Amino acid sequence: MLDDGDDIHPLFNGAPKTTEFRKLRKRILRETREAVDRYGMVNRGDRWLVCLSGGKDSYTLLAALVELQWRGVLPVDLLACNLDQGQPGFPATVLPEFLDRMGVPHRIEYADTYSIVMDKVPQGRTFCALCSRLRRGNLYRIAREEGCSAVVLGHHRDDILETFFLNLFHGGKIATMPPKLLNDDGDLWVLRPLAHVAEEDCERFARAMDYPIIPCDLCGSQDGLQRQAIKRMLDEWETRAPGRRGKMASALMNVRPSHLLDTGLFDFTGLPHPGAIDEKSME
């Protein structure tokens, strides 16, 4: 039923007619809807601030949510938002022109966080942490001003896996990006509807649709980032054992606290003595 007759959103004008692309598109939609349903993201009538950076992931996010809304299975209002952070050479007209052409409601906000990051981060250190914190603060502000209940981000399955290993190797904890999170002030949800979608699928989809992708030249210009090292490690594993990323993602949804070491999650000291179990069974 995809694109039958006039039943098509402008975001999908010119979509490839190949069987391969149709399967890709359906898979992304299915996995996005699965995440939305599994993690209880929807409250009917809510308004979502959909964060659009101009990268492949955020374009895929926007397209998937718009199509689900278009098909009547995502009963929320969507407002696309791009935060222009003042990076030199950022093509400021690309996204507003694209969103106008596609008929997508949007807000473009300028906030020069680039200068702050360059001033505060010492030479040789990575920019990501401060850049992300400043961006998130501005997005929260915009969401409140626009009456949104959720800030919706384009992090995909591979981002979640990479964060898991970053926390494991460098943070000393078992944690990752949750698909649904209440912010510290308790007034906004942070949602990641692409939690089940592979990065490779986002890449293939956005390229096939010929969306005007804008690279992040700030963090992308730095070599040796820990996240890039994790990504290379996962790439090598996937090459040696195809499907390993999918298995690891499934494992994050199948956690057994009794088989870990966290006494805050499982009461090891409260386990009954084996002898007590035998005596009870004999009564």
Tens digits of residue pLDDT in 28-45: 999 999 999 999 999 999
Rounded to the nearest 10 degrees, how much is the dihedral formed by the CA atoms of 201, 204, 207, 213?
40
pLDDT number for residue 1: 44
Residue appearing with tokens 């979509």: 15
Task: Spell out the domain ranges in the chain.
Answer: 10-242
Tens digits of residue pLDDT in 178-229: 999 999 999 999 999 999 999 999 999 999 999 999 876 555 444 447 888 9
Round to whole Å and give the CA distance between 265 and 261: 8
**Which CATH fold topology does 10-242 show?**
Rossmann fold (3.40.50)
Backbone angles phi, psi at 53, to 5 degrees: -90, -25
Residue appearing with tokens 């505060």: 120
pLDDT number for residue 43: 94
pLDDT number for residue 68: 96
Round to whole Å and give the CA distance between 224 and 16: 37
Residues 6+ apart with CB under 8 A from 134: 85, 111, 113, 116, 117
Report which of 157, 160, 194, 199 is spatially closest to residue 41, judged by C-alpha positions.
194
In the chain, which residues have pLDDT < 50?
1, 5, 220-224
pLDDT number for residue 226: 84
The model's pTM: 0.88
Query: Six-digit token pair at 48?
Result: 């979502």
pLDDT number for residue 220: 46
pLDDT number for residue 250: 96
Radius of gyration from C-alpha coordinates of the chain: 22
